[in-house]
Structure 1
Amino acid sequence: MSELPVVVVGAGPIGLAAASEVLERGLEPVVLERGSRAGASVAQWNHVRLFSPWSELVDPAAGRLLEATGWEHPAAEDYPTGQEWVARYLAPLAAALGE
């Protein structure tokens, strides 16, 4: 069974976090996304500021994967907009996952 990929449905915050966890465990994630890009649903409300700070918006495994690429975690106490969340986290994470 370890030769089969793990399918993750959705390239939003939860799907990309799940794919990061799968990859960290040495398995191959295949991410399926209906939208045109990672975070497509979030991009629909990109002008809205989130109610959670960056410290609560970055999955631990995703953060480790991104840090290995030179990514720097945004200030933990800042509250991003949807657009900032996509640009500074979801898009780089999708790229690091090869999506």
Structure 2
Amino acid sequence: MNEAKTVAIIGAGPVGLAATAHVLERGLTPIVLEAGDTAGHSVRQWGHVQLFSPWEYNIDGAAARLLASIGWNSPEPDQYPTGSELVERYLEPLATKTVLANHI
């Protein structure tokens, strides 16, 4: 008997949301378990800090494909975001405006 399994993903930060996007692309059912009030909760704690890597290394391919389906425009790939920008321009739209919202 082939019973569908639910994939538990711990955390709704950049890695957790990217993992969720990949799970969805594979046709599996994810459930994201986040301790904070919103996606990117931990990142918000250091929102004033500029990241050490530019956008091109902070946006996952599967997540970008989900965002593209809602008309999202990717930030300039060579710009270095702050934690707040990462949340506002990437994590929030991914977590609230795509199919990921149904799994968090």
TM-score by length of 2: 0.91
Q: Distance in 1 between matches of 2:77 and 2:63?
A: 15
Q: In structure 2, what is the equivalent of residue 55 of structure 1?
A: 56
Q: In structure 2, what is the equivalent of residue 79 of structure 1?
A: 80
TM-score by length of 1: 0.95
- For structure 2, the residue ranges without an aligned partner over 5 or more in a row are none
Question: Identity of aligned pairs, percent?
Answer: 56
Q: CA deviation at 1:28?
A: 1.1
How many residues were matched structurally? 99
- For structure 1, the residue ranges without an aligned partner over 5 or more in a row are none
Q: CA deviation at 1:2?
A: 5.1
Q: Distance in 1 between matches of 2:56 and 2:72?
A: 15
Q: Distance in 2 between matches of 1:93 and 1:2?
A: 28
Over residues 32-90 of structure 1, what are the superposed CA-to-partner deviations in whole Å (9 max), with x where a residue is unaligned? 00001000000000000101000000001000011011111100011000000000001
Distance 1:49 1:90, change over 3 A: same
